[in-house]
Structure 1
């Protein structure tokens, strides 16, 4: 029995890749390698970056100055990715990331965006009523805390560096990374020690 015919789009893609390779614009296996990099990306990468920033002042400074370089220092390939900005929460200041146009998201360090991040409801309400959105997530901020909503764009992606919970001082990086979720990294939640 012969295999089923390949869909026309697969053949078209194969021809396109072959044409790019023939012109020296694409190395053999480059597309598959980029797909593998994208598939490996997950919020665990961003969590490890935060945990390292909490335990290493030099890395924290790099992360805040140049998120892309900080990601690459953790072994993340940022080739082809927009710059990565990192927003440091502080006493009296909390960041919330949204993409008002579509779903711009730092995939290299957070993986694929969750469905809710792409919805028109989240995108609109995060700007109009950020405290209401946070409340729906069960995120209660101290009285007087300012919420700064930051728009991720096709030109610049953002993630949050939350404040380290004081009761976690002295924890190792692996344990710290365990309390940093994807939701923490976009600002809808706070790290909760467990």
Structure 2
């Protein structure tokens, strides 16, 4: 069976070929006047910065600093997330799952690539790959190890299967040593992968206070 390395699915040359075809198609469409480069840039920016992981990071950071919001997020994630202005297509039915000592969550879509776009943006290529979709269920600890997430043997790993009916957001544990940090600073250490469960927040990668 194929393996996942460094957070990416195998078959890099195939992916590079697809990316090259996409770039060629984009160039052709622009040259023929079917699309405007500025419109494409705006679309990419929307999904990378507005409808992207930054949104989810703000949700997580709010849950870390606001107990009432955290409770609301646990009860009704869709409504709690919408209260921060994030919602819409692919985010209609959300559920938040919370990492805690002795328990770690990760998300997969075994059938296709169901993914909470409003809070995580576009799904990464590896999330849609067959190796991840199968191995995340059958050997989650090994998959996490390949992403650099090494958990204690006693830690329970729960795998959630995202569907068209419900999509999941992993709320990672707040790292030690972040007491007194602002909500904005906390959000800067929350990565996309940590909200899928294939990563952990890293206080070393942080914006200035």
Residue aligned with 1:166, SS = coil
Residues 37 and 77, structure 1, Cα contact 8 Å, conserved in 2: no
Report the counterpart of residue 49 of structure 1 in structure 2: 59
The CA RMSD over aligned residues, in Å, is 2.2
2:72 is the alignment partner of 1:62: yes
Residues 106 and 158, structure 1, Cα contact 8 Å, conserved in 2: yes
Q: 2:87 aligns with which of 71, 74, 77?
A: 77
Residues 51 and 176, structure 1, Cα contact 8 Å, conserved in 2: yes
| Whole-Å separation in 1 of the counterparts to 2:122 and 2:46 | 9
Report the counterpart of residue 156 of structure 1 in structure 2: 166
Give the CA deviation at 1:77: 3.1
Given the superposition, is the C-alpha separation of residues 4 and 187 from structure 1 closer, same or farther in structure 2, using an over 3 Å criterion? closer
Q: 2:136 aligns with which of 122, 126, 129?
A: 126
Residue aligned with 1:168, SS = coil
Given the superposition, is the C-alpha separation of residues 176 and 47 from structure 1 closer, same or farther in structure 2, using an over 3 Å criterion? same
Please list every run of 5 or more consecutive structure 1 residues that lacks an aligned counterpart in the other structure. Answer: 8-34
**TM-score normalised per structure 1:** 0.79
Residues 105 and 160, structure 2, Cα contact 8 Å, conserved in 1: yes
Report the counterpart of residue 26 of structure 1 in structure 2: none
Report the counterpart of residue 27 of structure 1 in structure 2: none
Q: 2:177 aligns with which of 152, 167, 178?
A: 167
Give the CA deviation at 1:38: 6.5
Given the superposition, is the C-alpha separation of residues 154 and 192 from structure 1 closer, same or farther in structure 2, using an over 3 Å criterion? same
Give the CA deviation at 1:81: 3.5
**TM-score normalised per structure 2:** 0.73
